[in-house]
């Protein structure tokens, strides 16, 4: 991995400079955020698993449904599910 820092072409434009100090200054905060992200992911998986078991539904299906609700893609996902259902019941292989 290279530690290249690009040199700016002119004194008024600093958009092409890699600011390593910004990363160094924020590394503690970034590590804490990463740990929280992992903890939340584990918590989400635990909740999905518990509810899926209680509802007798596949946890991947439940997770996809929740994601569709949050991402507001429920209509698109419903259409895809209906098409998949049609293929499973109508197409003989």
Please write the tens of the pLDDT for every residue from 64-73. Answer: 999 999 999 9
CA distance 65 to 51: 13
Backbone torsion region of residue 56, taken as left when φ is above 0, otherwise alpha when ψ lies between -120 and 50, otherwise beta: left
Q: Tell me, what's the pLDDT at 93? A: 74
pLDDT at 7: 55
The CA distance from 15 to 68, in Å, is 37
The per-residue pLDDT for 57 is 96
Report pLDDT for 92.
76
Reported pTM: 0.66
Distance of alpha carbon 40 from alpha carbon 20, whole angstroms: 29
**All structural domains of the chain with their residue ranges:** 26-90
For residue 13, which phi and psi values (nearest 5 degrees)? -115, 110
pLDDT, residue 1, reads: 45
Ranges of residues in the chain with a pLDDT under 70 are 1-17
């Amino acid at each position: 991995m290279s530690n290249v820092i690009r040199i700016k072409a002119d004194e008024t434009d600093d958009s092409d400079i890699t600011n390593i100090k910004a990363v160094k200054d924020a590394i503690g905060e970034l590590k804490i955020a990463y740990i929280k992200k992992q903890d939340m992911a584990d918590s989400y998986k635990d909740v999905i698993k518990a509810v899926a078991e209680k509802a007798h539904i596949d946890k991947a299906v439940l997770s996809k449904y929740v994601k569709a609700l949050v991402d507001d893609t429920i209509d698109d996902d419903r259409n895809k599910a209906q098409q998949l259902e049609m293929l499973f019941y109508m197409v003989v292989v």
